[in-house]
Amino acid sequence: VSDEIDAILSKLEGDNVRSVLLQFSDLEGKPKNVAIPTKQMKKALTDGISFDGSSIQGFARLEESDMLLRPDPSTYQIIPWSDDQFRSARFICDVYTTHGEPFPGDPRRILRTQIEKAAKLGYTFNVGPEMEFFLFRMVDGHASVNLQDHNGYFDQTPANPAEDVRRDLVISLSEMGFNIEASHHEVAPSQHEIDFTYGDALGMADKVVTFKFVAKTLALKRNLHATFMPKPIYGINGSGMHVNCSLMKDGENAFFDPNGDHQLSDTARHFIAGLLKHIDGITRVANPTINSYKRLIPGYEAPVYVGWSAMNRSTLIRVPSSRGRSTRAELRSPDPTCNPYLTFAVMLAAGMDGVINKIEPPESIDKNIFRMTAAERSEAGIRCLPWNLQVANNALMEDKLLCDVLGEHVVAQINRLGELEWGEFSRAITDWEIKRYLANY
């Protein structure tokens, strides 16, 4: 162990790192960090660095608020925009109690547990998230919803500072170990997407958190605000975080079967069935804000109805046409306000429930659900996703499997935060109400 520590310390010295950010995520997936001078790293690696857990959203526990951060050596990255003469680096940390036990409310721990369970059955869970976001103008030093551009899908735009931000992002993310597949303008004005190559769920969850932090930082450097709010503007597409996923076994894609229906294996079918079975509870985790549900409405490419298809793009779960190594299911409901650790954990557990219990999915929906009449949908047994945070919260509380996955502590916190948020929203007097009622009554 001390050899490993020595190796890390000499790497830091060789890279001229003077300051180290120890990062972790709160329950809501918001990045937290504490900066320590490099000479404290020996202590961090041997004893951990303590912090007050009761001040972190979702961590609060009355009995013991002191907690420890233990850096995960495999997450070492230099912060690309830090000064050459005074390098900063970061490690993502696991959270421990002061008794040296893993903290059960640590989102990273919760995902790890599910990954280890799947590994016992020989499976690796691979995910590829598609990150959508808006770049808005700053006004007097504050974020606004003022559009930066009026372009659309794949548009190429001369001299648009947003294009510069995207390029800066691709460069910095590549330096931080991302394998960028594509970056493009999205459908809505000022909306962008960056895709990176899929990988194991834990590494990808780390990357999602890193991505948001890097995007916000680099946008600000060009006086723009990057937001992952799902539906910042009424009437145009919102931002999602589609999660492409597959299982790998013995180095092969376990979703692919050249002789299966749609060339999908039984494993793929069962996994999809598990996702569909638990989707209501998953929604609470994958769509955790009031605003998330303003995106999940008809007319804007976001899913609304529960179903899957290998044919069309309008379904909740789409099986894109690529096969072989790229055989995958794309869950299209999550949005980028989700905590990626918890989202991938509940997705994996739900899918594995399907695989272990050989659950059969409903028939695939091969026509555009949005063009079906309500009667046709109900005849086909197609129901809606939870339509607000309260409905989703109740659904999660009733999903025993997902509650077990998240653990007592996290479920209680999610429930508390959900009820709080819903209560405040219900009491708020919105612009919509003023416009609707003030003059009329």
Q: List active site positions.
A: 52, 130, 132, 186, 193, 242, 313, 330, 332
The residue among 185 and 242 lying less far from ligand ADP, judged by its C-beta, is 242
Q: By CB under 6 A, is residue 326 in contact with ligand ADP? A: yes
Interface residue with ligand ADP, options 148, 151, 172, 253 (CB under 6 A): 253
- Only one of the segments 78-86, 244-252, 360-368, 414-422 lies at the binding site for ligand ADP (rule: CB under 6 A); that segment is 244-252
The residue among 115 and 180 lying less far from Mg ion, judged by its C-beta, is 180
Cβ at position 155, least distance to ligand ADP in Å: 16
Cβ at position 192, least distance to ligand ADP in Å: 12
Contact 191, 134 (CB under 8 A): yes
- CA 432, chain centre distance (Å): 30
- Only one of the segments 66-74, 123-131, 265-273, 335-343 lies at the binding site for ligand ADP (rule: CB under 6 A); that segment is 123-131
Cβ at position 26, least distance to Mg ion in Å: 27
- Per the structure block, which two tokens stand in for 6? 């020595």
From ligand ADP, Mg ion, none, interface partner of 211 (C-beta below 5 to 8 A by class):
none
Cβ at position 261, least distance to Mg ion in Å: 23
- Only one of the segments 193-201, 212-220, 285-293, 367-375 lies at the binding site for ligand ADP (rule: CB under 6 A); that segment is 193-201
How far lies 97's CA from each of 27, 52, 85, 92, 150, in Å? 16, 11, 36, 17, 50
Give the residue nearest to ligand ADP (CB): 128
Phi, psi dihedral angles at 280 (to 5 degrees): -65, -45
Amino acid letter, residue 369: I
Q: By CB under 6 A, is residue 132 in contact with ligand ADP? A: no
Q: By CB under 6 A, is residue 128 in contact with ligand ADP? A: yes
The residue among 82 and 326 lying less far from ligand ADP, judged by its C-beta, is 326
Cβ at position 240, least distance to Mg ion in Å: 7
The residue among 26 and 193 lying less far from Mg ion, judged by its C-beta, is 193
Interface residue with ligand ADP, options 87, 112, 242, 284 (CB under 6 A): 242
Total residues at the site for Mg ion (CB under 5 A)? 5
Interface residue with Mg ion, options 168, 193, 206, 335 (CB under 5 A): 193
Cβ at position 120, least distance to ligand ADP in Å: 21
Interacting residue ranges for ligand ADP, rule: CB under 6 A: 126-128, 130, 181, 195, 197-198, 242, 244-246, 253, 320, 325-326, 328, 330
Interacting residue ranges for Mg ion, rule: CB under 5 A: 130, 182, 193, 195, 242
